[in-house]
């Protein structure tokens, strides 16, 4: 099993995708696998907003 990515990195990837980029493009920019980037975005979308 690989190392966990930091919450900061996950948030930056999600933010990049929210700016209109694809998850695959975010994966290339941030050096993670495409499946990880897709999973980070999907997890963010499935969680209710705080506050």
Task: Tell me the per-residue pLDDT of 9-33, one tens digit each, with 9 for 90 and over.
Answer: 999 999 999 999 999 999 999 999 9
Helix, strand or coil, per DSSP, at residue 17:
helix
Distance CA 12, CA 30 (A): 9
> 28-49, pLDDT tens digit by residue?
999 999 999 999 999 988 877 6
Range of the domain at 29: 7-46
Q: Give yes or no for residue 4 having a pLDDT over 70.
A: yes
∠ CA(5), CA(16), CA(31), 5° rounding? 45
Q: What is the total count of domains within the chain?
A: 1
Sign of the CA dihedral 50, 9, 15, 28? negative
Residue 1 located in a structural domain = no
Residue 51 located in a structural domain = no
pLDDT at residue number 46: 84
Predicted model pTM: 0.84
Residue 2 located in a structural domain = no
Helix 34-46 and helix 23-30: axis angle, to 10°?
A: 120
Distance CA 49, CA 36 (A): 21
Residue 26 located in a structural domain = yes
């Amino acid at each position: 099993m690989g190392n966990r990515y930091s919450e900061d990195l996950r948030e930056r990837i999600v933010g990049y995708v929210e700016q209109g980029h694809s998850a695959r493009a975010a994966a290339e920019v941030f050096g993670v696998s495409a499946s990880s980037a897709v999973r980070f975005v999907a997890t963010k979308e499935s969680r209710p907003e705080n506050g």
